[in-house]
Amino acid sequence: MAEDDRALPAAEELALARLALDSGDLEHAAGHVAAALTQAPTLPEVHETLARVGAAGGDRAVELFPLHHHAFVGNVVARAHLLAAAGRPAEGLDLLVAATGHAPGTDWAGVPWVTAPELAERLFPDRTARILMQVCAAVPDPVPRAGRAALTPYLSLARNAVAVHPEHALLLGAASALARRLGEVALAIRWAARGVRAEPSKLGEVWLGYAYRSGGRTREALAALGRAVEHDPDDLAVYADIAGTLADHGRLDEALEWIDRALARDPSFDCAVHTAHRLRHQRDGDVAHLVALADFVRDHPDDTHEHGDLAECCRSRPWLGQVTPAGGAVVEALRRAVVDDLGGVGAAVRLDAPAPPSAMRTVEVAAPGLRIEVADVGDPDPREPRRATTRQLWRYDGTTAVPAVPAPSPEAAERVRQVAHPAWPHPPAAYDAAVGLATLDLADLLGLLVHPPQAPSTPLGRVLGGQDPSLWVRCVQVWACLGILHHRTDEPWTASTRRRVLLDLVWGVEDWVTEAALFALVTAAWVDPAVRPDVAGVVAERLADAAAVARVRAVPIAVSLAHLALATPALDPETAALAVSLTRPPAVDRPSALRRLWRVVGTLFRR
């Protein structure tokens, strides 16, 4: 279904429609009426003009609003109203529901013929039930409060139909499902319970269970879902629903018992597999469950419907679902300087050793008035790579870090602006999202790491630029490294350019780039089981090195590296234990400003 790019005001469209009508040009008149419907679907003047077009078109009036493969939504709605006027309201409702699925927030059905009690009398109750179920399938569950008004005409249809057919079980259940989605929980329970009394069935009990669950009546919900299983022991989706309900109330052992029962019947049933891995991760926090779920998703691309279990488990978790914010005195001073909008003038930070070069460079660009004083270099020297590498991103003039590679091209800078984000659903999704960087030159990708472009003029870019430039720099580095992971993917992994470059970055000077490159390697392990032993070995060596250095001097990236290790597939138990120990010491609580920033970022991401 398509939109109209013209987007003229409804009044102008109607004026043009009337002119076309007066000249006998019905096709142009119909086009303008359809466009007016998209602007004002309930405006009486629009419907009056549509009626004139219908009268002028006679028996072929409906054909003035064709439905092609990518039908214009205005044509769909106009055709629906004309079908209803011609005595075919069920067909008209089917089209209105299709428009609702295309744009659920628009009041397509808010017209008298839909809400009139007479309509329910003319429709067979089975047909009304199917129409209500189509509405339910087209909208979120539950519908956000702001979007409910546009759907209330369908609820009026449900009320009218139930009044005419008070004991029709299928109609009562479908009406209950719609009422529940629109926040009318008491009504949903009443209708579903009446439907089960009229005709006990699996579907009726499921609708009743969902209604009880929405009303917080967990015991009754579980009882109803249990009766649904008795009606049909082979419907494993109900087992997953019971398990999810139990888990939501902290009853994980019982929930897993239900999932195991489902998997015993069908080990590949998608709902049970997704729920099982989510609940097992919820129980013990082992990332292996999430990796196994990602493998299942990759190996079963034709699942019956979309699942959000993997994204739910990774959301807001370090590196699984988001960039880990940088810490340290330099970054905290930078955030204060940016929020105060003084550029750090007159402020100074004294360090015992050089901060990561990316942090120092970000301060130079975002808060040039902030003075950084380094008391000592420390040992091992943080300005030196941790291993011999063939690529140096930074060179030092004393304790001042200077980029050692050229700036990226404007095209590369713009490309990364379009994809860089501090959050992602899960590592495989981040990998897929970075495919747009695959065609960039390697020199450009390396240049992005030390010459990050300014944040884009988007809501997210303005938030990051105005509150935490360090987070934007880290975003660019993460996505540039994911771009490197897409570089020459035809090369076998072990001898590949992408692996060699990322290893150079991992073992370079201690920097935010180290974290970004290691995340790219961890992501490779998520999407390709064959590389997991290699990546797990690299992660283990890099974390062991950081832990060894941390015993003699501060390693600002150590905790983040530990979180990366805990996100790594097939990590050995000893390294996992080391990672847990590095994340265990109480960290300084994030400032309230940073917590607010992450709430804003999360809101923008969910949009």
Angle among Cα 538, 525, 480 to the nearest 5 degrees reads 85
Q: What is the pLDDT of residue 30?
A: 93
Whether residue 371 is found in the same domain as residue 417: yes
For residue 12, is it within any domain?
Answer: no
Question: For the residues 493-511, what does the mean pLDDT come to?
Answer: 97
Whether residue 268 is found in the same domain as residue 363: no
Distance, CA of 232 to CA of 528 (rounded, Å) = 39
CB 393 within 8 Å of CB 513: yes
User: To which residue do tokens 């000893």 refer?
Assistant: 574
Sign of CA dihedral 555, 556, 559, 561: negative
Which of 314, 338, 364 is the C-terminal boundary of a domain?
A: 314
For residue 281, is it within any domain?
Answer: yes
Q: What is the pLDDT of residue 68?
A: 81
Distance, CA of 451 to CA of 293 (rounded, Å) = 37
Q: What residue type is assigned to position 138 of the chain?
A: A
Whether residue 337 is found in the same domain as residue 280: no
Find the Cα–Cα–Cα–Cα dihedral 304, 310, 311, 317, rounded to 10°. 180
Whether residue 403 is found in the same domain as residue 298: no
Q: Which residues of 444-479 are buried (b: 16+ CB within 10 A; e: fewer)?
A: bbbbbbbbbbebbeeebbebbbebbbbbbbbbbbbb
Which of 314, 344, 360 is the C-terminal boundary of a domain?
A: 314
CB 373 within 8 Å of CB 348: yes
Q: What is the pLDDT of residue 588?
A: 46
Residue 57 phi/psi, 5-degree rounding, is -80, -20
223-254 pLDDT per residue, tens: 999 999 999 999 999 999 999 999 999 999 99
Q: What is the pLDDT of residue 573?
A: 97
292-313 pLDDT per residue, tens: 999 999 998 876 567 899 999 9
Q: What is the pLDDT of residue 585?
A: 57
Whether residue 397 is found in the same domain as residue 452: yes
For residue 45, is it within any domain?
Answer: no
Answer yes or no: is pLDDT of 186 > 70. Answer: yes
Peptide bond into 142 cis (omega under 30): yes
For residue 149, is it within any domain?
Answer: no
Domain count, the chain: 2
User: To which residue do tokens 């005595």 refer?
Assistant: 87
Predicted TM-score of the model (pTM)? 0.82
Whether residue 309 is found in the same domain as residue 329: no
Whether residue 310 is found in the same domain as residue 373: no
Whether residue 600 is found in the same domain as residue 473: yes
* Termini Cα distance of the chain: 21
What CATH code is carried by the domain that includes residue 255?
Answer: 1.25.40
Structural domain span for residue 432:
321-607
DSSP 491: S
For residue 286, is it within any domain?
Answer: yes
For residue 27, count other CB atoms closer than 10 A to its CB.
Answer: 13
Answer yes or no: is pLDDT of 602 > 70. Answer: no
For residue 84, is it within any domain?
Answer: no
Whether residue 279 is found in the same domain as residue 404: no
Which has the closest alpha carbon to 328: 367, 355, 366?
355
Longest alpha-carbon distance in the chain: 89
Answer yes or no: is pLDDT of 604 > 70. Answer: no
Question: What burial class does residue 598 get, using C-beta atoms within 10 Å of its C-beta: 0-12 exposed, 13-18 middle, 19+ buried?
Answer: middle
For residue 466, is it within any domain?
Answer: yes
For residue 206, count other CB atoms closer than 10 A to its CB.
Answer: 24
Structure token pair of residue 594: 């940073």
- Contacts of residue 57, Cβ cutoff 8 Å, sequence gap at least 6: 26, 30, 63, 64
C-alpha 152 chain-centroid distance: 27
341-381 pLDDT per residue, tens: 655 566 778 887 788 999 999 988 888 888 888 888 878 99
Distance, CA of 563 to CA of 582 (rounded, Å) = 9
Percent of the chain with pLDDT over 90: 79
For residue 489, is it within any domain?
Answer: yes
Distance, CA of 103 to CA of 100 (rounded, Å) = 5
Structure token pair of residue 468: 């935490």
- What is the pLDDT confidence band of residue 1, given thresholds at 50, 70 and 90? low
Whether residue 422 is found in the same domain as residue 279: no
Whether residue 499 is found in the same domain as residue 529: yes
Which of 279, 314, 349 is the C-terminal boundary of a domain?
A: 314
CB 543 within 8 Å of CB 510: no
- Contacts of residue 381, Cβ cutoff 8 Å, sequence gap at least 6: none
Whether residue 244 is found in the same domain as residue 332: no
